[in-house]
Amino acid sequence: MTAAKDGCNFNKDQIAGLMKTMKQETKTEFVNRFMDVPFESIQGKYSFCNETDKKVLFSLDVGGNEDNDVILSSDWSRNGYAHSIKHIDKIINQGYDLFVFKVRTQYKNGKTIPVGFDKVVEKRNLVLDDDGVYRATPVDYTFFDDNIEIQIRNNANLTETEKYQLVMARRGQSRFRLAVAKIEPRCRITGLADMQHLKASHIKPWRVATNSERLDGHNGLMLTPHIDHLFDQGYISFTDEGKVLLSSRLGQEAAQVFGIYNGLSTGSFTDNQKVYLAYHRDNILKAV
């Protein structure tokens, strides 16, 4: 067969190769290619596992919400997602890596209808929140220390349940950090926006917060470590209008070195943040 327009000749095998390349890849073919496991069909399946490479792939239904990160909820049918529960166990207890790809769906006539998928795989971290929902959070927003997790798992003085709860509590910080960063993209006082040098600091401390408050992005500020120390220990706080309040216990020399002063304007807060800041001023800020 001859391509008349440019004078190039293609044989039968070359044409077949071109046709195969041009063919739209199905979801089954996509999953097989990434997982390197020949699944004959993925119909009705939500997650997939490669035992050799120790990796698990979840399809993440984003629907109309690009930020959706839920891969398994406590109110979903345990029978329908039994295989996914086993895969989650492999991630938690056997160190399997978690990957996701996004699936597009529409809700019509009482049914969820698939309309497409993204041929992009992302590595994620698994987080279990206080509502029993498993989430696949972006790796970039997870800052827990894997070495500490190893110490927890190897601690013979802890039961398996205690180990699990400690690990999940640490991983829960990644979800909180992501939620805070969406509201507070930089340190209010220094202006630094490089997330690797910022800490997600609770306004109402973790020890006195409810479960929902602990993960509420409005209950947090992204702060550089030295500002986080001052805020956490009650040496500084903020008015509802975003002006800095200094404790009288913060020495003048320290305030000058840190570059802060009473009335320093840092920008406005949301109404939800103001509720938490009122608690901080009343209970955490040392005598002004």
Q: Is residue 240 part of a domain?
A: yes
pLDDT, tens digit, for every residue of 215-240? 789 999 999 999 999 999 999 999 99
Instruction: Indicate whether 49 and 133 sit together in one domain.
Output: yes
Q: Is residue 1 part of a domain?
A: no
Q: Using the predicted structure, report yes or no on whether residue 5 has a pLDDT greater than 50.
A: no
pLDDT of residue 196: 79
Spatial separation of the C-alpha atoms in residues 81 and 58, rounded to whole Å? 12
Q: Is residue 264 part of a domain?
A: yes
| Average of per-residue pLDDT across 254-277 | 94
Instruction: Indicate whether 131 and 226 sit together in one domain.
Output: no
Could you tell me the CA-to-CA distances from 214 to 30, 163, 177, 179, 208 in Å, in that order?
Answer: 38, 20, 11, 11, 9
Q: Which of 223, 216, 213, 225 minimizes the C-alpha distance to 244?
A: 223
| Average of per-residue pLDDT across 191-216 | 85
**Percentage, residues of the chain above pLDDT 70:** 74
Q: Is residue 9 part of a domain?
A: no
pLDDT of residue 1: 39
Decide which of 125, 141, 157 is a domain's last residue: 141
Q: Using the predicted structure, report yes or no on whether residue 268 has a pLDDT greater than 90.
A: yes
Q: Using the predicted structure, report yes or no on whether residue 11 has a pLDDT greater than 60.
A: no
Q: Is residue 21 part of a domain?
A: no
pLDDT, tens digit, for every residue of 101-140? 888 888 777 777 778 888 788 888 888 776 678 888 876 4
Query: How many independent structural domains does the chain possess?
Result: 2
Decide which of 84, 117, 141 is a domain's last residue: 141
Q: For residues 213 and 282, which has the higher predicted lDDT (pLDDT)?
A: 282
Instruction: Indicate whether 136 and 215 sit together in one domain.
Output: no
Instruction: Indicate whether 193 and 246 sit together in one domain.
Output: yes
Q: For residues 149 and 276, which has the higher predicted lDDT (pLDDT)?
A: 276
Q: Is residue 149 part of a domain?
A: no
Q: For residues 64 and 104, which has the higher predicted lDDT (pLDDT)?
A: 104
pLDDT of residue 33: 84
Q: Of 22-26, 95-99, 233-237, which has the strongest mean pLDDT?
A: 233-237
Query: Do residues 21 and 34 touch, judged by C-beta distance below 8 A?
Result: no
- Confidence band of 142 (pLDDT split at 50, 70, 90): very low
Spatial separation of the C-alpha atoms in residues 183 and 269, rounded to whole Å? 10
Decide which of 141, 175, 200 is a domain's last residue: 141
Spatial separation of the C-alpha atoms in residues 23 and 18, rounded to whole Å? 9
Q: Is residue 100 part of a domain?
A: yes
Q: Using the predicted structure, report yes or no on whether residue 144 has a pLDDT greater than 90.
A: no
pTM > 0.85: yes or no: no
Instruction: Indicate whether 43 and 133 sit together in one domain.
Output: yes
Q: Is residue 90 part of a domain?
A: yes
Instruction: Indicate whether 202 and 275 sit together in one domain.
Output: yes
pLDDT of residue 55: 93
3-state secondary structure the chain: CEECCCCEECCHHHHHHHHHHHCCCCHHHHHHHHHCCCCCCCCCCCEEEECCCCEEEEEEECCCCCCCCEEECCCCCCCCCHHHHHHHHHHHHHCCEEEEEEEEEEEECCEEEEEEECCCCEEEEEEECCCCCEEEEEHHHCCCCHHHHHHHHCCCCCCHHHHHHHHHHHHHHHHHHHHHHHHCCCCCCCCCCCHHHCEEEECCCHHHCCHHHHHCHHHEEEECHHHHHHHHCCCEEECCCCEEEECCCCCHHHHHHHCCCCCCECCCCCHHHHHHHHHHHHHCCCCC
Q: Using the predicted structure, report yes or no on whether residue 209 has a pLDDT greater than 60.
A: yes
> In terms of residue numbers, what domain contains 105?
38-141
pLDDT of residue 121: 87
Q: How many CB atoms lie within 10 A of CB 247?
A: 17
Handedness of CA 272, 275, 279, 280 (dihedral sign): positive
Instruction: Indicate whether 266 and 201 sit together in one domain.
Output: yes
